[in-house]
């Protein structure tokens, strides 16, 4: 079965579409270049920091103080409300 001009053929693009695609490709290339430059800076920074870290001592962990919850000494039965009024 022979194919007609509309079937299977790539659609024809207008000048405006081609211009838009070229602009999009240029923006993508610029972003890629910027990303590669950023990665190079990051790699050189990591390599430079690696030598400094070996000479430094590790920081000690700060111990946290244990929190103590309030204890109620009043003799109340389970389920009863505790008297918390302030007496003067």
Q: Where is average pLDDT lowest: 4-18, 19-33, 73-87?
A: 73-87
Q: Would you state the torsion angle of the CA atoms of residues 39, 40, 41, 42, taken in this order, to the nearest 10 degrees?
A: 50
* Residue 81 binned pLDDT confidence (cut-offs 50, 70, 90): confident
Cα separation of 87 and 30, whole Å? 74
| CA nearest neighbour of 14 among 22, 4, 25, 5 | 22
pLDDT for 8 equals 67
* Residue 9 binned pLDDT confidence (cut-offs 50, 70, 90): confident
The residue count of the chain comes to 88
**Tell me: the pLDDT tens digits for 29-72?**
999 999 999 999 988 887 776 555 555 677 788 888 887 776 66
Q: How does DSSP classify residue 11? A: P
């Amino acid at each position: 079965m022979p194919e007609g001009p509309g079937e299977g053929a790539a659609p024809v693009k207008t000048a405006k579409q081609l211009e838009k695609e070229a602009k999009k490709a240029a923006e993508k290339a610029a972003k890629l270049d910027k990303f590669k430059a950023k990665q190079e800076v990051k790699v050189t920074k990591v390599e430079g920091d690696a030598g400094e870290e070996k000479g430094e001592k590790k920081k000690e962990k700060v111990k946290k103080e244990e929190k103590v919850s309030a204890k109620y000494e009043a003799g109340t039965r389970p389920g009863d409300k505790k008297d918390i009024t302030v007496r003067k």
